[in-house]
Amino acid sequence: MSTTSTPTPGPHTLSMTTLMTPSMVNFSGKIHGGALLKLLDEVAFSCAAQFSGHYVVTLLVDEVRFRAPVQVGDLVTFHAAVNRVGRTSMEVGIRVIAENPIARSSRHVISCFFLMVAMGDDGRSVPVPRLTPRDETEKRRWKEAEAREAMRRERSTKASG
Ligand SMILES: CC(C)(COP(=O)(O)OP(=O)(O)OC[C@H]1O[C@@H](n2cnc3c(N)ncnc32)[C@H](O)[C@@H]1OP(=O)(O)O)[C@@H](O)C(=O)NCCC(=O)NCCS
> What pLDDT is stored for residue 5 in this prediction?
72
Task: Enumerate domains of the chain plus CATH numbers.
Answer: 13-132 (3.10.129.10)
- Residue 88 predicted with pLDDT over 90: yes
CA distance 126 to 146: 20
Q: What is the pTM of this model?
A: 0.94
Q: Residue 123 CA: which ligand 1 atom is closest?
A: 3
Query: Above pLDDT 90, what percent of the chain?
Result: 90
Mean pLDDT score, 81-90: 98
Q: For 34-73, how does the pLDDT look when each residue is reduced to its tens digit (9 = 90+)?
A: 999 999 999 999 999 999 999 999 999 998 999 999 999 9
- Residue 3 predicted with pLDDT over 60: no
Mean pLDDT score, 116-138: 97
Report the separation in Å between the CA atom of 161 and the middle of ligand 1, taken as the mean of its atom positions. 18
> What pLDDT is stored for residue 157 in this prediction?
86
Q: Residue 56 CA: which ligand 1 atom is closest?
A: 48
Closest of 29, 13, 12 to residue 21, by C-alpha: 29
> What pLDDT is stored for residue 40 in this prediction?
98
Contact 39, 33 (CB under 8 A): no
Helices (H), the chain: 33-52, 136-160
CA distance 56 to 90: 9
Report the separation in Å between the CA atom of 115 and the middle of ligand 1, taken as the mean of its atom positions. 9
- Residue 161 predicted with pLDDT over 80: no
Q: For 90-116, how does the pLDDT look when each residue is reduced to its tens digit (9 = 90+)?
A: 999 999 999 999 999 999 999 999 999
CA distance 59 to 104: 37
